[in-house]
Amino acid sequence: MKRFRTIVALVAIMSLGAGQFLRQEVRVDERALLAGLAPDTAFFEKAGSPPHYRSDRGVAAFNSHDVRPEIRGYAGPIKVLIVLGSDGRIKGIKILSHRETKNYVHYMETPAYISRFIGKSVYDRFEIDKDIDGISRATVSVEALARSVRDSSRTIAAGVYGIQSLSEGPATVGSWSWLWYSLLVLFGFMGYVLTRRDRRYQAMRDISLAASIAISGLYLACPFSVLHLFNLALGRPSSSSLWYALVGSTLLSLLVAGRFYCGWLCPFGALSELIGRVPLRKWSVPVTQDDRWRKLKYVMLALVMPAVFLSGRVDYGNYEVYITLFAVHGNAFAWTLTALMVLANLRVSRFWCRYLCPVAAVTGVLARQEPAYVSGHDCPIGNKTHPDTTECIRCNRCRQSAAPAITRS
């Protein structure tokens, strides 16, 4: 297993380094797009500070990223081409590019949604679920879109037309999402510390599993994804507090508690484990076969990393079934795979986590060894006795120094 972890690390470093030299930024022909957004309008060359297009009809056009580059969604900037009239109203709009996970923002990309910005004024507040429609499970992305359109339009309106509008301010719909997630992490880590000392606190883990499904999965729709790490490696952090809470806490927990996230906070892992507790007879997987299949998640990760890092397209690495499940969006193949991975837990405990999960592969590569975990017959992930502890999800059922639970007769 150590060899596989080394190979994955080398593939990541080499493909990321090669991608820095080989990737080329795809340039969008903004002028060609303006012909569709503002027919019969002749635009002059882009000029000024910030850069914008003036026209012969008293309208201006601009790329929102040229005006407010600091506004970022969950995976980087959302670049929008906007045509603004001299009255401060939006005459045309088109999303040029973004790196948000398409499962979550598929509706945001549709003409039906983006056209709702047309006619809005720089005097409007652009608040999600008030004067701008929200999109369930994509709050961070639509807030970034709304802020990009609002703030860049106000800047251009002030500089080009002398229109002084409302002061700029952050959208607030999802601003407390980081707190909900932080409370979940805090409760889970308290349970982790207590169960390391005494297994009688194992009920806290069950509560944490249920809470992770409810909060991280259903409410926030933010399971930790390998796409977060891909964006981080490519230098594309978010401006979302939730993003920092999720990525920061997961990486920090790896240093002190190994695959703590997998065992306590992952909503899909929690769902898999709870489904696995349904009293159906489990298939017996021979240890040698189990060891062989567990390597598959490392192989799959090693295969997708070059595609992601060489192209800069993180969506090339999106094969995570929990994104389909908690985004409530996917094609027929994605939903079929998700259903199979959920049902597989009835026969093989935490099937996806064992054999296919890219987050399990990454955390397995980075997690430190801790020999105190010896495994046992009730291991929720079916580890063999004295396993490679990078496969351990730190449920603390088998930790040698933990006091045993008292069995009541």
pLDDT digits (tens, 9 = 90+) for 14-70: 998 898 888 776 778 899 999 999 998 999 999 999 999 999 888 999 999 999 998
Give the tokens for residue 99: 């790196």
pLDDT of residue 129: 82
pLDDT of residue 171: 47
- Mean pLDDT on 253-275: 95
AA letter at 386: H
d(CA 401, CA 260): 18
Helices of type H across 258-381: 260, 267-276, 287-294, 296-311, 321-327, 332-343, 351-355, 358-366
Question: Kindly report the CA angle at 394 between 389 and 397, in degrees rounded to 5?
Answer: 105
Nearest one of 65, 133, 60, 59 to 95, comparing CA atoms:
65
Domain residue ranges in the chain: 2-16+176-391, 38-161
pLDDT confidence band for 406 (50 / 70 / 90):
low
d(CA 396, CA 193): 9
Tell me: pLDDT of 172 over 50: no
Least confident range of 117-121, 238-242, 248-252: 238-242
First to last CA, the chain: 42
| Region of residue 362 (left: phi > 0; alpha: psi -120 to 50; beta: else) | alpha
pLDDT of residue 169: 54
pLDDT confidence band for 1 (50 / 70 / 90):
low
DSSP per position, 157-206: IIIII----SPP----TTTTHHHHHHHHHHHHHHHHHHHHHBGGGTHHHH
pLDDT of residue 166: 65
User: What DSSP character marks residue 43?
Assistant: B
Q: Provide the strand spans (E) within 205-292.
A: none
User: What DSSP character marks residue 385?
Assistant: S
- Mean pLDDT on 212-220: 96
Tell me: pLDDT of 335 over 90: yes
pLDDT of residue 407: 46
Give the tokens for residue 304: 């997708």
Report, in angstroms and rounded to the nearest whole number, the Rg of the chain calculated over CA atoms.
24
This prediction's pTM: 0.86
Tell me: pLDDT of 261 over 90: yes
Sheet strands side by side (includes 79-84):
53-54, 60-63, 79-84, 90-97
- With 0-12 / 13-18 / 19 or more C-beta atoms within 10 angstroms meaning exposed / middle / buried, residue 134 is middle
**Each residue of 309-343: b (16+ CB within 10 Å) or e?**
bbebebebbbbbbbbbbbbebbeeebeebbeebbe
Mean pLDDT score of the chain = 90
pLDDT of residue 173: 41
Least confident range of 84-88, 308-312, 387-391: 387-391
Give the tokens for residue 253: 């927990």
Bridge partners for 15 per DSSP: none
Tell me: pLDDT of 219 over 80: yes
Nearest one of 199, 207, 240 to 404, comparing CA atoms:
199
pLDDT of residue 175: 67
pLDDT confidence band for 408 (50 / 70 / 90):
very low
| Region of residue 162 (left: phi > 0; alpha: psi -120 to 50; beta: else) | left
- Mean pLDDT on 145-154: 94
pLDDT confidence band for 369 (50 / 70 / 90):
confident
Tell me: pLDDT of 5 over 80: no
